Amino acid sequence: MLLRLSLFVWISVAMVVALLKAPLVPVLLETTRVLYFHIPCAWIAVVALGWSMLHSILYLVKRDLRHDDHAAAAAGLGLLFCIAATVTGALWAKAMWGAYWNWDPRETSIFFVLLLYTAYLALRSSIQEEEKRARLSAVYSVIAFVAVPFLVFVVPRMYDSLHPDPIINRRGKVDMDPMIVLCFNAMLVGFTGLYFWMQSLRVRVSRLERRAHAA
Amino acid sequence: MPASGSNSAVAVWTILRKECRSEWRTRYGLNAALLFALASLTAVSFAAGRLGDRSDVLAALLWIVLLFATLSSLSHAFVREVEGRTMLLLRLVASPTEIATGKLLFNVLFLAVVEVFAVPLFLVFTGAPPVRWGPFLAVLGLGTIALAASSTLIGAVIAQTRGRGALFAGVSLPVLLPVLAAAVSGTRQMWSAHPVAPSLRLLAAYAVALLAASLLLYDHLWED
Amino acid sequence: MSAAARVVVSGVSHRFGPRRGLEAVSFDVAAPGVLAVTGANGSGKSTLLRILAGLLRPTTGSTTLELAGKEVPRAARRRHVGLASPELAFYEELTARENLAFAATARGMANVHSAVNEALGRTGLAARAADLVAEFSSGMKQRLRLAFAVLHRPRILLLDEPGSHLDAGGREVVERLVQDACADGLVVLATNDPTESALARERIELSGRGLDHPA
């Protein structure tokens, strides 16, 4: 209880300070505020992906369904944060460069991660038996693990080089004011806490559901 | 009888021959695939028109046609076994890796046959510029192997679920994207007289990574 | 002196879902011998046989297969075990001979031709060997399953309802196969047919949640 309350307070304070007190970044101006939300979302989308894949591998090795609970919960949450990151990113892109979507490397990467999440969840929804679902989705997760380095680091840069538009580095060579860095890191920590809290809730629900079915 | 390398090779070869024989006897899969390739190739090249000067677009279109061919036919390799209920038979005579390798080789052969038919037609219909055959065949070859490696693996997963065609397409697309990107890139490079080596390296790296993962994963795939 | 073949099952159970499955069972049988496994429909006889063949991992418990005192790892069991089960289906577009030859060749057997002929002879299929399986009746398919099970001369024979669909001649085939096998090997017979279970010297009844037991 105390932990939840402090998490709430932490994020609220960080948010308020970020929005009201932190200065604006020169190039980004008013849109600076997005980076307190958009980047933590993207960060969590990646953390959740890693967490899900780790537990998929653990499931295949140990065959303990608790790992599958973690993998599935992480995927659902990851999808949520990934959508949030993609949408806020698109809005930011519109404000900054006039177009919602440019297929620049970062947009492309986050979109591919989104595709992986939806594929994983679609696969899960097509299997009814618990053990089979856990096993097959874990196998897919490992396949995705092989594909991710290519999808996130290699392919977006390739695609982009086929387009003549210049690559715009969003985080740029901008000197970040220490206040901004502080608020930003605070938001990162807050989001991470938020994610793991939601994750634990979902895992507990899965476990309770399983116990209810078995009874 | 202890398992040995040559024993595995015999098993793989036997499975491959069985696949070819079954396919030849029924011919349903190959006919459907060729017809589908013709249909998608016609649609694409007709809609795009003669693109002799736009080799970058042509490269993309060619691989989209091949992607369609892959998505429509390669899942059948395992689905047929599941539907014919012959998976049990296979699992009793060969190990999961041997089964999957046999299927993989068959899928490569299958795609190759479709390409022999579809690629020349594509080049003709779209009025493509002259092809540098060495690099082109290299990109086609490695691309086919990478496509087959991905689809065989995903097909083995999907065959055990309730969804089939549409699910296969959706689930395999993220895994096929790197192949698509590298193959299109390589084909463009071929046409624009640039070296295709970087794309070939990428295709090879991806195929090797997937095949290595497959060796570990196939044992977990069939357990009921 | 260690037995030619031995099967040890301890506390093995398997769940397919919340309601269906095999309840915990334990036994220890050694060759030469015939064990009959009986039980109501749905009590898990077929499941148990699949677990013994190494095709399925039990939810709890463990199984051990020993040949001449040495344990056979799960992945290698298929080489030493002959399974004939109602779920076994053959390639309809191939002939009986081709199906058996495929199995023998894939297994790496030395004298494929003679092994196939022997199996066909023992099950009375020699006359129809060159016919496509698509043209076979259910009784002939059952004989083909038996031929497949004995093809590689395994030490352990797992027969699931071997007499189903068979005429009097077919049942004689089953009797002869069981007698040949139990001379120096082990036969596990899953059946509810009293004449079949009469072939056994030991018997075990599965007390699973059969169809008569609603929840």
**What is the rounded distance in angstroms from the CA atom of residue B152 to the CA atom of residue B107?**
7
> What pLDDT score does B106 carry?
92
The answer to whether C155 touches C67, Cβ cutoff 8 Å, is yes
> What pLDDT score does C203 carry?
84
Using the beta-carbon criterion (under 8 Å), do B206 and A60 form an inter-chain contact? no
Percent of chain B at pLDDT > 70 equals 97
For testing the chain B interface, which of A120, A143, A159 should be mutated: the one with the most B CBs within 10 Å? A143
- The residue ranges of every structural domain in chain B are 5-221
Cα–Cα nearest to A93, from A103, A83, A81: A103
Q: Is residue C213 part of a domain?
A: no
- Interface membership of C19 toward A (CB under 8 Å): no
User: What SS3 class is residue C66?
Assistant: strand
Tell me how close the Cα of B30 comes to any Cα of chain C, in angstroms.
15
> What pLDDT score does A190 carry?
86
Tell me how close the Cα of A213 comes to any Cα of chain C, in angstroms.
6
The answer to whether B139 touches B197, Cβ cutoff 8 Å, is no
B169: confidence class by pLDDT, cuts 50, 70, 90: confident
Q: Residue C159's beta-bridge partner residues?
A: C84, C189
CATH number at residue C71: 3.40.50.300
- Interface membership of B56 toward A (CB under 8 Å): yes
> Residues of C numbered 142-181 whose beta carbons fall under 8 angstroms of chain B's beta carbons: which are they?
148
Phi first, then psi: give them for residue C60, nearest 5 degrees: -135, 160
pLDDT averaged per 10 residues, chain C (length 215)? 77 75 84 86 85 88 87 89 92 93 92 93 92 92 94 92 88 90 88 84 72 44
| Residues 6+ away with beta carbon under 8 Å from B47 | none
For testing the chain C interface, which of B10, B82, B93 should be mutated: the one with the most C CBs within 10 Å? B93
* pLDDT for residue A173 is more than 60: no
> What pLDDT score does A104 carry?
80
Mean pLDDT of A74-100: 89
- The residue ranges of every structural domain in chain A are 38-166
> What pLDDT score does C60 carry?
85
C186-190/C202-206 β-pairing: unpaired
**What is the rounded distance in angstroms from the CA atom of residue C102 to the CA atom of residue B10?**
11
**Comparing A185 with B119, which gets the higher pLDDT?**
B119
Of A24-28, B182-186, C83-87, the range with the lowest mean pLDDT is: A24-28
The answer to whether A65 touches A214, Cβ cutoff 8 Å, is no
* pLDDT for residue A135 is more than 90: yes
> What pLDDT score does C184 carry?
83
For A111, the token pair is: 């979109």
For testing the chain A interface, which of C14, C15, C22 should be mutated: the one with the most A CBs within 10 Å? C15
Where are the alpha helices (H) located in C53-205, listed in sequence order?
Answer: 77-80, 96-106, 112-122, 138-150, 168-182, 194-197
- Interface membership of A130 toward C (CB under 8 Å): yes
A174: confidence class by pLDDT, cuts 50, 70, 90: very low
- Interface membership of A129 toward C (CB under 8 Å): yes
User: Which chain A residues are closer than 8 Å to C57 by Cβ?
Assistant: 63
User: What SS3 class is residue B40?
Assistant: helix
**What is the rounded distance in angstroms from the CA atom of residue B202 to the CA atom of residue B145?**
13
User: Which chain A residues are closer than 8 Å to C59 by Cβ?
Assistant: 131
**What is the rounded distance in angstroms from the CA atom of residue A104 to the CA atom of residue A107?**
5
Q: By CA distance, what is C215's nearest residue in A?
A: A215
Cα–Cα nearest to C84, from C8, C195, C21, C165: C165
> What pLDDT score does A170 carry?
44
**What is the rounded distance in angstroms from the CA atom of residue C190 to the CA atom of residue C51?**
13
A167: confidence class by pLDDT, cuts 50, 70, 90: very low
Q: Is residue C211 part of a domain?
A: no
Q: Which of B1, B7, B224 sits opposite C56 (nearest CB)?
A: B224
Mean pLDDT of B13-34: 87
SS (H, E, C) B70-118: HHHHCCHHHHHHHHHCCHHHHHHHCCHHHHHHHHHHHHHHHHHHHHHHH
Mean pLDDT of A151-160: 77
Q: Which residue has the tokens 């693996």?
A: B153
* pLDDT for residue B23 is more than 90: no
Q: Which of C16, C18, C57 sits opposite A214 (nearest CB)?
A: C18
Helix, strand, coil percentages, rounded to 5, for chain A: 80, 0, 20
| Residues 6+ away with beta carbon under 8 Å from B170 | A118, A119, A122
Using the beta-carbon criterion (under 8 Å), do A213 and C16 form an inter-chain contact? no
* pLDDT for residue A169 is more than 50: no
A118: confidence class by pLDDT, cuts 50, 70, 90: very high
Q: Which of A142, A144, A154 sits opposite B202 (nearest CB)?
A: A154
User: Which chain A residues are closer than 8 Å to C16 by Cβ?
Assistant: 129
pLDDT digits over B85-138, tens only? 888 899 999 998 899 899 999 999 999 999 999 999 999 888 888 899 999 999
> What pLDDT score does C214 carry?
43
pLDDT digits over B194-213, tens only? 888 999 999 999 999 999 99
Residue C127 DSSP label: G
Cα–Cα nearest to B190, from B123, B129, B120: B129
Of B28-42, B178-192, C5-19, the range with the lowest mean pLDDT is: C5-19
Tell me how close the Cα of C134 comes to any Cα of chain B, in angstroms.
11
- Interface membership of B222 toward A (CB under 8 Å): no
* pLDDT for residue B140 is more than 90: yes
User: Which chain B residues are closer than 8 Å to C148 by Cβ?
Assistant: 89
- Interface membership of C102 toward B (CB under 8 Å): yes
Using the beta-carbon criterion (under 8 Å), do C94 and B219 form an inter-chain contact? no
Q: What is the DSSP string of C97-110?
A: HHHHHHHHHHTT-S
User: What SS3 class is residue C152?
Assistant: coil
Cα–Cα nearest to B71, from B140, B167, B159, B205: B167
Mean pLDDT of A168-192: 69
User: What SS3 class is residue B20?
Assistant: helix
Q: Is residue C198 part of a domain?
A: yes
Mean pLDDT of A32-50: 86
For residue C47, what is the enclosing H or E element? helix C45-52
Mean pLDDT of B160-189: 88
Q: By CA distance, what is C14's nearest residue in B?
A: B224
Chains with 3 or more CB pairs under 8 A to chain A: B, C
Q: Residue C65's beta-bridge partner residues?
A: C7
Q: Which residue has the tokens 């015939």?
A: C34
**Comparing B142 with A3, which gets the higher pLDDT?**
B142
> What pLDDT score does A159 carry?
66
The answer to whether B14 touches C109, Cβ cutoff 8 Å, is no
Cα–Cα nearest to B157, from B92, B103, B94: B103
**What is the rounded distance in angstroms from the CA atom of residue C198 to the CA atom of residue C190?**
12
Q: Is residue C212 part of a domain?
A: no
Percent of chain A at pLDDT > 70 equals 86
User: Which chain B residues are closer than 8 Å to C99 by Cβ?
Assistant: 89
Using the beta-carbon criterion (under 8 Å), do C17 and A130 form an inter-chain contact? yes
Q: What is the DSSP string of C179-215?
A: HHHHTTSEEEEE---HHHHTT-SEEEEE----TTS--
Q: How many domains does chain C have?
A: 1
For testing the chain A interface, which of B78, B175, B192 should be mutated: the one with the most A CBs within 10 Å? B175
**What is the rounded distance in angstroms from the CA atom of residue A144 to the CA atom of residue B210?**
10
For residue A188, what is the enclosing H or E element? helix A178-214
Of A36-40, A168-172, B18-22, B107-111, the range with the lowest mean pLDDT is: A168-172
> What pLDDT score does B148 carry?
92
- What's the whole-model pTM score? 0.86
ipTM computed for the complex: 0.87
Q: Which of B153, B163, B177 sits opposite A143 (nearest CB)?
A: B153
- Interface membership of C95 toward B (CB under 8 Å): no
The answer to whether C56 touches B223, Cβ cutoff 8 Å, is yes
Using the beta-carbon criterion (under 8 Å), do A135 and B220 form an inter-chain contact? yes
